[in-house]
Structure 1
């Protein structure tokens, strides 16, 4: 890749950077901060900070609290916080077994959540997109009644996503290929007026995990289990997408070249050993992998000491460890987080996964890799999708200001 030519900083770009810097200081502060404290932390002048804060307040990004005494002998200072009353981000999730919508405000509070249980396997993409768009439009209307403006929509989908184009290239669970999700959703009036992005559910679930734990590390591999197995790669507290947004397809990493054929066309993929279908088949349990209660049934059988289920989960854990170790050797990440169906089954899969990682990661002797279940739960993807909208505003508040003007 050719290096970009250095460009001189313009006055407006300098202001944009300082605007983001001040907003970040307010957001990261453990308690409300004053203008003077922000100036002291950032090194900007008090006059500059005051002008920037006024802009952030008037645009609905920052709120002011009642004046307080910064020091017993000082003048009262007005505390600054992120304003959660005016702007929100909408996440919608298209899952094989359900559709979901969630709105979070700028301060991170959930303002609306709705889940519709509806099997999407084999459904017509236009029909499903219309239902999903109606769910999103309803969420926008609900929060608008509370005075919240929806700044954007992020759509989590189960498959290989052409991230920049918003096209779902391949979704085995749904039986879809080359579906223009972005185009279909933009037909709805409410969604045509706001920015819409599309990404894999594993990527958004990784973001949901990132923000569910205050002390979460900024670098980890998030592996989301289900009938399909995918990963989200977080580096420096940001998603790594790859050139076309197709990273994270860990379910199709080969763990046994002589293993069973996979629906992707290869042999011995991780999904054939660690996906829900493989676990159910190996356990012999009388439940479909698509049953909403399948994970509970597997956990119940394993807890009751069922030998076949225990062995099926251990086999899945070993396969996850082989694939996970390869990813860690390549990416040098300190942690593997188990999400989706793997989180409630971690008591059986995680020890085997950890054992394989310890054996196979070259640097494990000096820098052990942690394996743990995720904490964001089943809402991880839709929460992460909603949070991605507000993250974008926090990262570049000037872009929001330009949109407001238009």
Structure 2
């Protein structure tokens, strides 16, 4: 039986009586999602897979084509009975979602079209903590404007913007309530961007690790794994938890702050002001502190992060003892904390993102040794340790994915062309 499972539940919980228009919007979304998840299908196969009747599917496909969200392709001969039909493909090159991330030492943007193809990708070094919230939002707004312009050159219109913030986020009103590593308290990110960006579509603000977990679930190496723990290694350490195919938010939407569990050195002060947080021994600052002197170029936040990490990897490959010892220590501490998460959540996969993935070949062996000593269940309770292939793009990819979900929820947000091939602006 066809099952439409949706990971991002930012609008969940609001239910209204289903009139005819609501049912049609739902069915349009059902067909569009199915093409995204299952690939090209004939109308007959779509009807068979979704349980809709063939006449309804034909009508829905015609409307989606008029909105330039699907197109027809070759004859589908696979499993056909009688005269084969043309395959229907997800199109949507004319619409896109924008994901933005602000972190301790950079801001980034990624623009995806409806098929998941990258239209724009940029990362800009920026000392967010020292710059302050207002000036940082100025820079974020400029980056969004550049993303909009670049998408327009490709003929794509954004349907939404999602901003990733490293800290506690009240997503209902887009306020960063507490982001200690960038020094933000109760910053109205949503309102700030609304005042700065010329954009009428939806703007959302989310925790960066949550968006990274969504990206991994949607398009990473372990896509659609129903029980997954994602750990992001930055200056701070965050976690995104997928339980039974759903993002675990917690009662107040604040779950996933694993970096502030008391698993670190009680003598070390965390960016949050407390002592002994896990990120004090596994965060990027901990690695750099152990691997290099303070005046070493790898500490310079104005240099691209991946360039700095490449230098760390090169030193390790060259056998530098200090670097290797630092990586060994971080890997061990990483395993100590991950063991707690495995014992509590029993995930199928623990995904390492951010710098954990970049330097993963040096971290996984000491991590695995610590996990074997600390995980209660046999064979790591069935968990596998996997390095993310999304790297530092996970949060922005998750943000763009969430922005595009509005189209899959309601394809009528994209105006119909009326059969003349024109593409009106979103919201016109």
Considering the TM-score relative to the shorter chain, is it more than 0.5? yes
Match of 2:263 in 1: 255
Aligned 8 A contact 1:97 1:120 in 2: yes
Instruction: Tell me how far 1:66 sits from its aligned partner.
Output: 5.2
The 3-state SS of whatever aligns with 2:205 is strand
Structure-2 residue corresponding to 1:29:
38
- Equivalent residue runs for 1:3-402 within 5 Å: 11-30=20-39, 32-65=40-73, 74-75=82-83, 77-191=85-199, 193-213=200-220, 215-216=222-223, 217-256=225-264, 258-285=266-293, 286=296, 287-288=298-299, 290=301, 291=303, 292=305, 293-365=307-379, 367-397=381-411
1:176-200 CA deviation, whole Å, 9 max, x = no partner?
2111110100013523x01000112
Q: Deviations over 1:258-278 (max 9, x none)?
A: 442323233221111111221
Q: How far apart are residue 62 of structure 1 and its match?
A: 1.9
> Structure 1 stretch 396-405 or stretch 299-308: which is displaced more?
396-405
- Conservation of the 8 A alpha-carbon contact between 2:264 and 2:281: no
TM-score by length of 1: 0.88
Which structure 2 residue ranges, 5 or more long, are not aligned?
A: 1-12, 417-424
Instruction: Mark the runs of 5 or more structure 1 residues left unpaired by the alignment.
Output: none
CA contact (8 A) 1:227 1:289 kept: no
Aligned residues of 1:120 and 1:174 also touching (Cα < 8 A)? yes
Change (3 A) 1:398 1:319: farther
Equivalent residues of 1:88, 1:105 under 8 A apart: yes
Confirm or deny: 8 A CA contact 1:106 1:390 kept in the other structure.
yes
**Distance in 2 separating the partners of 1:219 and 1:401:** 37
Listed one character per residue, the Cα deviations across residues 63-97 of structure 1 (whole Å, up to 9, x for unaligned) are 22255666899435221111132211011121222
Distance of 2:371 and 2:192 partners within structure 1? 42
| Cα deviation, residue 348, structure 1 | 2.3
SS at match of 1:367: helix
Determine if contact 2:413/2:427 at 8 Å carries over to the other structure.
no
Q: CA deviation at 1:169?
A: 1.8
* CA RMSD across the alignment: 2.9
Contact 1:60–1:87 under 8 Å retained in 2: no
Q: CA, structure 1 residues 25+6, in 2 after alignment: closer, same or farther (shift >3 Å)?
A: closer
> Residues 382 and 264 of structure 1: is their aligned pair in 2 closer, same or farther, counting only changes over 3 Å?
same
Aligned in 2, Cα 1:361/1:396: closer, same or farther, shift over 3 Å? farther
Question: Against the structure 1 CA distance between its residues 6 and 66, is the aligned structure 2 distance closer, same or farther, given a 3 Å change threshold?
Answer: closer
| SS at 2:160 equivalent | strand
Determine the C-alpha separation between the residues in 1 that align with 2:370 and 2:232: 18
Q: CA deviation at 1:119?
A: 2.4
Shift of residue 51, structure 1, vs aligned partner: 1.8
Deviation of the 1:250 alpha carbon: 1.2
Q: 1:128 to 1:263 in 2, by over 3 A?
A: closer
Query: Which range moved further: 115-124 or 283-292?
Result: 283-292
- The C-alpha deviation readout for 1:274-326, integer Å capped at 9, x for no partner, is 11221222234434173534322322222222333222222212222222122
